[in-house]
Amino acid sequence: MTCAQSAPADGEFFRDRTVVVTGGASGIGRAVVEALLGARARVAVFDLRPDALSGLARQHGERLRVGAVDVADRPALEDAMAAVADAWGGISHLVNSAGIIGRRAPLAALDEADLERVLATNLKSVFYAGSAFVRMGAGLDARSIVNMSSIAARTGGMAGNMAYAASKGAVATLTIAMAKELAPDIRVNALAPGIIDTPMQLDSIGDPAAVAALSGIVPLRRLGTAAEVAGAAIWLLSPAAAYITGTILDVAGGR
Ligand SMILES: NC(=O)c1ccc[n+]([C@@H]2O[C@H](COP(=O)([O-])OP(=O)(O)OC[C@H]3O[C@@H](n4cnc5c(N)ncnc54)[C@H](O)[C@@H]3O)[C@@H](O)[C@H]2O)c1
């Protein structure tokens, strides 16, 4: 018996509100994009693989903008966000979903370039996007940010993924600090997904059977879906979560 749910769509609140989603071409970010488009939001996606969204772009026309942007490249990300704010009158919400696990390696074999890439993609990008977001929404109401942490922040992650786990711990701490600084105008929360069935898991582990076997360590006895994490993100962005800020919400099947 499973208890899968699909992402809810709040038709009225998100209608014509502008949302930037980093990493929105795949997995959890993509599910967030689909839920927001279903709720009639205007969505800008910055990803290294924006071509993956061409089908969605055809379907949603001017409601979806996609850009080939490396979130670790601060000037490029700021320029892309400024173009969205100019075109659509500011940015109401930000979902920082871009992330990488990095190359699996023991601490003794730490590779400097890989460490830098993981920290820049998963952590520095949240500073960069958050900083630009704060400056690009004067006059807009009910603004909010959802960052993507991970339960790896408290478990230490899978063996060999130390940089990833540390980056996600820092994202959780940064979320709390951002929430305090940006209150009462902007709410900031994070999700801590557990093991979610997305391309990231398969890319990291390599074998679909090994990914599926991970369900054995989850109390709910299955992997989560991208849509279930997206549902939590949409909820945190919405007025239903109006009194929630600085929270790290597990979406982890009890892990
Ligand atoms: N899948 C899981 O089990 C899981 C668990 C906990 C946390 N998370 C986090 O959720 C987020 C989404 O993960 P996912 O599972 O959907 O992974 P995914 O690989 O399916 O999607 C990640 C997206 O980020 C993009 N991206 C990577 N580096 C980028 C960069 N430098 N600039 C722009 N875009 C970049 C990728 O192109 C991809 O489209 C990540 O931050 C991840 O760490 C995932």
Q: Among 95, 100, 50, 98, which Cα is nearest to 71's?
A: 98
Phi-psi region of 168 (alpha: psi -120 to 50; beta: other; left: phi over 0): alpha
Average pLDDT, the chain: 94
From CA 96, how far away is CA 174, in angstroms rounded? 12
Q: pLDDT, tens digit, for every residue of 113-125?
A: 999 999 999 999 9
CA of 198 to the centre of ligand 1 (A): 9
Looking at the chain, the whole-number percentage of residues with pLDDT higher than 70 is 96
- Distance set, CA 39 to CA 8, 127, 234 (Å): 9, 27, 10
Looking at the chain, the whole-number percentage of residues with pLDDT higher than 90 is 89
The structural architecture, per CATH, of the domain 3-250 is 3-Layer(aba) Sandwich (3.40)
Indicate whether residue 47 lines ligand 1 (CB < 6 A).
yes
Indicate whether residue 102 lines ligand 1 (CB < 6 A).
no
Indicate whether residue 7 lines ligand 1 (CB < 6 A).
no
Is 164 considered catalytic here?
yes
Whether 14 shows a pLDDT value over 60: the answer reads yes
Mean pLDDT of 158-183: 98
From CA 149, how far away is CA 123, in angstroms rounded? 9
- From the alpha carbon of 98, which atom of ligand 1 is closest? 24
pTM of the shown model: 0.96
pLDDT band with cut points at 50, 70 and 90 for residue 207: very high
> Which of 25-39, 50-64, 175-189 is the least confident region?
50-64
Which of 96, 164, 201, 241 does the annotation list as catalytic?
164
CA of 139 to the centre of ligand 1 (A): 31
Whether 2 shows a pLDDT value over 90: the answer reads no
From CA 135, how far away is CA 78, in angstroms rounded? 10
Q: Amino acid identity, residue 74?
A: R
Indicate whether residue 167 lines ligand 1 (CB < 6 A).
no
Q: pLDDT, tens digit, for every residue of 221-248?
A: 999 999 999 999 999 999 999 999 999 9
Residue of 216 and 5 predicted with greater confidence: 216
Neighbours of 137 (CB within 10 A): 19
Distance of CA 114 to the CA centre of its chain: 21
